[in-house]
Chains A and B, each alone.
Chain A
């Protein structure tokens, strides 16, 4: 065989598997259990159904990474899992691709996607995958009675003991106002006034001496388990894991829960935008969203998904519905994080909150 032909054949052999392979989607997510759940509920079934390989990559802060990649003009990810607030921010700054909501799957009952998703969860560049909540958790095996409303969390005379609080103004100020009797639908109107802000901080002042501040989501579970606090703010998914996987006698007080939406955004300049859109539409259909809610106790953001949620995938027997923030019984006094408010006031309130915290010892 003459050399040129042999070379050509070798080149062909090398090139064949490359050209035959479909594009691989690179998905940026938060890591840990969260990535594992997305792997099981979204990535693996999607690859089986379409043949498109999906690689989920973990990041500490997907938003900061996406911002730096898009501004540098070198985007290596097709999709990222981000919070709704970050998606709005990235979208407004032209760093995210708009997603046509007509491409999304209709509800299980045939209603259009825009009506099937919970109100306020869809964004122009964002399709939600799950709803997580910050709730009050307590240890039912301890004496002192169970708190009935969010106001009990701020009442240290009726319910003595220390309180675990998130060291962030987000969620904490909202809960303070709800604990002070502000109805959920007026929380942000109140927070937007100087008097309302003072009222929230005054409420926090009441438990300042009893507060233990946490930052990482694993901390409140540990604080409860060690008996360091009587009640604590916590992410509902962490408490669920402690209840079911570790069999701890923790309970969640759903009254006054503050929930936030997480989901997909496609960064501008993504290498495979079409496959990415296909992945978004496929994974946010009612069925896969319900499967995801069986992996972790984060609620599906679609109305028609709620009834499809079965039992906890890991133990095969715990019904998931009572543990989800989106279940109607748990939604009676619930507040959705207002992303518009927080993109406007994030920095200002974080500074004020830090200044308030620093004054806590003097």
Chain B
């Protein structure tokens, strides 16, 4: 009825509400909706464009790393293959002495696992916590071919008296749940004692904490040396005329195109006791035949070789930032009475910080994960944590342990990254 009222339009028109609502596109749709639709379409198209990259990152990076990290606290080698005895552990409070029912469950599980050829997996899992028990499982499994006769406790103790060891039962109880913190404990040189308390591992087994510390210290040292060596070179590159700086740039990049092993071996030839540098020093009479310097197969060798290998990662970001620094700033500072040192310290150096930050972060993160060079030139003292991760991945096949060590390393780097962000600011990075 209101539409028929000739005054109605005039009245509402006077308030100004109707003409706003009537803003439409050429084909009569409301403008706001049309805008929303078109911007949504643009967003969708943008998303579709990055979708391949997103899928690539997810499939090749996030998922495998997530699985690997999951492995560091999840190992169902015992729980999945020993269901009955795991159930007994679930039904009884911790500390319960194994009774006949427990041994019966164990005997049944051992027989089944030997049948299914999974007994090696079970033994491997327990062997992580009690070294030397893997063969206990496999040997008992071989005896279990025909099954055990009751009373099971006597039968199992007859097969091997180690089955009566309460420490073994405590470890089996711990392994009967797939989720465990044991690998993380082992990765920081801790273990559980007979009461289940967390204690230090025996002194002669303590190695990981020391290796983490060494990795951190050496990586920081290498970052520092690449900075000390790389800064002047980058400055030279940025200030020389183009033609000569291009030649220098090729020299900086040349090692990039040479195999890592070749570069490492070249350092061996130079630095070893019968090597070029020692021969030269002996020939010059600086040292005698007995006093040849040890510069290889120790930490010195590791630092020298890794500094050389990682140097371009420091030089390139520094160079790209230094090229953009206007030389007139320093000139202005000098003309206002600053000494060359003050002009460098207060005007030039602060402007290189974004490049320095990026270079330092790159070098440090690469150094933390290096293992080929330390393995070849590190000798006994140049071994890093990544060498142990590689060892657990490829030799002992203890992937849970490798994952726990890698997770700690990743966590440590992330913490440092966070500290770095608070101190320097990630927004200030310039990667080239």
Contacts and interface: CB of A to CB of B under 8 A. Distances in A.
Nearest to B273: A228
Given A215-B376, A347-B396, A358-B380, A352 B204 contact: yes
Contact of B275 (A226, A358, A361): A226
A212 interface: yes
Interface in B110-150: 116-121, 123-124, 127-128, 131-135, 138
B119 A92 contact: yes
A358 B210 contact: yes
Majority DSSP secondary structure for residues of B touching A: helix
Contacts of A347: 127-128, 131, 392, 396, 398, 401
B135 A344 contact: yes
A67 interface: yes
Majority DSSP secondary structure for residues of A touching B: helix
B233 interface: no
Contacts of A344: 127, 131-135
Interface residues of B, number: 47
Contacts of B207: 351-352, 354-355, 358
A358 B131 contact: no
B117 A358 contact: no
Range of interface residues on chain A? 35 or more
B386 interface: no
A162 B376 CA distance: 17
A348 B134 CA distance: 12
B362 interface: no
Interface in A88-134: 89, 91-94
Contacts of A343: 127, 134-135
A355 B127 CA distance: 20
Contacts of A167: 380, 383
A92 B117 CA distance: 6
Interface string A223-247: 0001110000000000000000000
B212 to A, nearest CB: 12
B414 to A, nearest CB: 26
B274 A351 contact: no
A60 interface: yes
A360 interface: yes
Q: Which interface residue of B275, B380, B391 has the most chain A CB atoms within 10 A? A: B380
B323 to A, nearest CB: 41
B379 interface: yes
A357 B397 CA distance: 22
A185 B272 CA distance: 38
Interface string A59-101: 0110110010000000000000000000001011110000000
Given A63-B397, A346-B395, A358-B383, A93 B131 contact: no
Contact of A357 (B205, B380, B396): B380
B84 interface: no
Interface in B256-293: 268-269, 272-275
A350 interface: yes
9 contacts: A91-B120, A215-B376, A219-B376, A346-B396, A347-B127, A352-B205, A355-B207, A357-B383, A360-B380
Interface of A: 60-61, 63-64, 67, 89, 91-94, 162, 167, 211-213, 215-216, 219, 222, 226-228, 340, 343-348, 350-352, 354-358, 360-361
The list of the 7 closest CB pairs from A to B, nearest first, reads: A92-B120, A94-B117, A348-B131, A93-B120, A61-B394, A355-B207, A357-B380
